[in-house]
Amino acid sequence: MATGLGIAMIQNGYKTKFITAAELVEELLIAKEEHKLGAFEKKWLKNDVIIVDELGYIPFSKTGAELLFQFFSSRYERASVIITTNLEFTEWTNIFGDEKMTAALLDRLTHRSHILLLNGESYRFRQSLKQKENEE
């Protein structure tokens, strides 16, 4: 769904960037190490929407989590973010490691947002079952 929204945004002239949460944190860590965080965030603010996929699949270091918090906070009320995750909000502290930082982030992310909760069977799983049935 997020990919479809991203494609629609591009087709309507919006600058859109798609990245996994792990890749974003890695890029943030490199930018910090090279003392280029300001330039990094300024470059990313040129995008109308950033789609961050798979938040919560891979745990982050304390520094990585803090940089991700800072990144999302810098976009607050300035540019759009789409986040995909399989975690409930109550589990986000496991990603960010700090209850207060997580609460502050969720406050920003959920303000003026649309939250879609999708439940159901994985379409990938369903496709693989269908493929196995066709092979038999």
Q: Count Cβ atoms below 10 Å from residue 68 Cβ, excluding itself.
A: 22
Q: How confident is residue 17, by pLDDT bands cut at 50, 70 and 90?
A: very high
Q: What is the pLDDT of residue 125?
A: 67
Burial class (CB in 10 A: 0-12, 13-18, 19+), 28: buried
pLDDT of residue 123: 65
**Burial environment of residue 82 by CB neighbours within 10 A (0 to 12, 13 to 18, 19 or more):** buried
What is the rounded average pLDDT for all residues in the chain?
92
Q: Which residue did the predictor score with more confidence, 67 or 125?
A: 67
Residues linked to residue 85 through DSSP beta bridges, in sequence order? 55
Give the DSSP H or E segment for 92: helix 92-96
Q: Which of 27, 66, 26, 71 is nearest to 45 (CA)?
A: 71
CA distance 80 to 50: 6
H-run or E-run covering 19: strand 16-20
Of the given ranges (28-42, 45-59, 82-96, 114-128), which has the lowest mean pLDDT?
114-128
* Domains contained in the chain, CATH given: 2-135 (3.40.50.300)
Q: What share of the chain is helix, strand, coil (3-state, %, to 5)?
A: 55, 15, 30
Tens of pLDDT, residues 76-134: 999 999 999 999 999 999 889 899 999 999 999 999 999 988 887 766 667 777 777 78
